[in-house]
Amino acid sequence: MATGTSIHPDIHEDECVDADPGAHVDGRKDGRVDGRKDDGRGVRIDTGAFVIVLANHKGGVTKTTSTANLGAMFAEAGRRVLLVDCDPQANLSETFGWGEDLPSERLEDLLAHPEAAHRYTPPRALRDRIAPEVAWRDRLRIIPATDELADVAAELRTTAGPEYQDRLREVLEPLRDRFDLILLDTPPGRGVLSGMAVHAADGLVIPALAADLDVRGAGKVYDLVEDELPDLRILGVLIAASERRWRVTREAAARMMTDQMRVLPVWVPRAVRVASAPRHSAPTAVLEPDSMVTHAYRQLAGLLLTEVDR
């Protein structure tokens, strides 16, 4: 179940600018992040992996790209990482070359039979032929999905009753002690799968582009979490595929900060080649480890690790 060809030699980054090192970081709530739970007496209990959901009601905002690249950078930093594809479009699975033809349990199988998670070992995300020189490949694992995930999720609402929202949490529970971080890639909208993902998570990252609709989308997610999920830590808004020199980028970040949203202080620059990375069954962080995009995700991973480790 693993990995290995060489990094593709002809992928080059389009012109992009370095991530913004000076963007404001603030929050409507305490920005401290702690993946452990309180036992009611002020004593923190270690519950295993810290689960991060990347969510935004709007599509096309780099949720999948950011999940894949952050996961790679967390693994590079020495953490055991599990990526979970919670989107029936299966773009995260395809990013790593996990097509429907490959033998493996998928997320839909585990949601339908959660007891199987106790004996399930997630496969390596990078397949054998992809980038065999990557030293951290064994630390990056994946639970892939197919389009059948949509049917299974729809059935859960009737078969599992009101407890269906806890089904993903139930699947992840026996896996948490095997990983340090679990990243959940979600579909757009407020459907069953997005709901299960946010209920299973400890922290939230909101990927967004620097555009009016994305600013509003990020604000809606922010408000929803604060109103309905007060225990979910908002790690921040991740501004991606944007350039600091663009006025629209600066204005979008300023509007979010005016609305007291926590904006992560590293912006991921635009690079046309990022969109073609899945063609080579690996994210940009693997294909171009020295690119500006990878550098930005590496900085973001370091920032988030500092928060999670507090």
Where residue 244 falls among pLDDT bands split at 50, 70, 90?
low
Q: State how far the Cα of 203 lies from the Cα of 231, in Å rounded to an integer.
A: 9
Q: pLDDT (tens digit, 9 = 90+) per residue, 108-140? A: 999 999 999 999 999 999 998 898 999 999 999
Sign of CA dihedral 10, 133, 270, 64: positive
Range of the domain at 185: 48-308
**Of 99 and 174, more confident:** 174
Q: Which of 17-26, 152-161, 198-207 has the highest mean pLDDT?
A: 198-207
**Amino acid identity for residue 296 in this structure:** A
Answer whether residue 5 is part of any domain. no
Burial of 69 (0-12, 13-18, 19+ CB in 10 A): buried
Question: Residue 88 falls within a domain, yes or no?
Answer: yes
Indicate whether 22 belongs to any domain.
no
18 occurs within a structural domain: no
For residue 15, the tally of other CB atoms under 10 A from its CB is 10
Task: For residue 52, count CB atoms less than 10 angstroms from its CB and return exposed for 0-12, middle for 13-18, buried for 19 or more.
Answer: buried
- 252: in domain: yes
- List for the chain the helix, strand, coil content (%; round to 5): 45, 15, 45
How far is C-alpha 171 from the chain's CA centre? 17
Q: What is the pLDDT of residue 279?
A: 79
pLDDT band for position 14 (cuts 50, 70, 90)? very low
Indicate if the pLDDT at residue 2 is higher than 80.
no
pLDDT at residue 17 greater than cutoff 70: no
Q: State yes or no: pLDDT of 143 exceeds 60.
A: yes
**Model pLDDT, residue 106:** 95
pLDDT at res. 146? 95
Predicted local distance difference test score (pLDDT) of residue 173: 97
Q: How many domains does the chain have?
A: 1
CATH (domain of 104): 3.40.50.300
Residue 284: pLDDT over 80:
yes
Q: Which residue has the tokens 């199988």?
A: 109
Which stretches within 143-191 are classed as H helix? 148-159, 167-172
What is the per-residue pLDDT for 26? 37
Tell me the pLDDT tens digit for each residue of 171-194.
Answer: 999 999 999 999 999 998 888 999
Q: In the prediction, which pLDDT does 59 show?
A: 77
- Token pair belonging to 290: 């020295």
Closest CA to 269 of 235, 233, 245: 245
Strands 44-45 and 37-38: antiparallel
Q: Which residue has the higher pLDDT, 215 or 192?
A: 192
Give the residue with greater pLDDT, 23 vs 184: 184
Q: Is position 303 within any domain?
A: yes
Note whether residue 34 is domain-resident. no
Predicted local distance difference test score (pLDDT) of residue 242: 62
pLDDT beyond 90 at 15: no
Q: Report if residue 16 sits inside a domain.
A: no
Q: What is the pTM of this model?
A: 0.82
Residue 112 tokens, joined:
């339908």
Percent of the chain at pLDDT exceeding 70: 76
* pLDDT score, position 62: 86
**For the segment 69-92, what is each residue's pLDDT rounded down to a tens digit?**
999 999 999 999 999 999 999 999
User: What value does the mean pLDDT take over residues 202-219?
Assistant: 79
Could you tell me the two tokens for 297? 């995700």
Per-residue pLDDT, averaged over 216-234, amounts to 85
Average pLDDT over the chain, rounded to whole? Answer: 81
| Confidence at 241, pLDDT banded by 50, 70, 90 | low
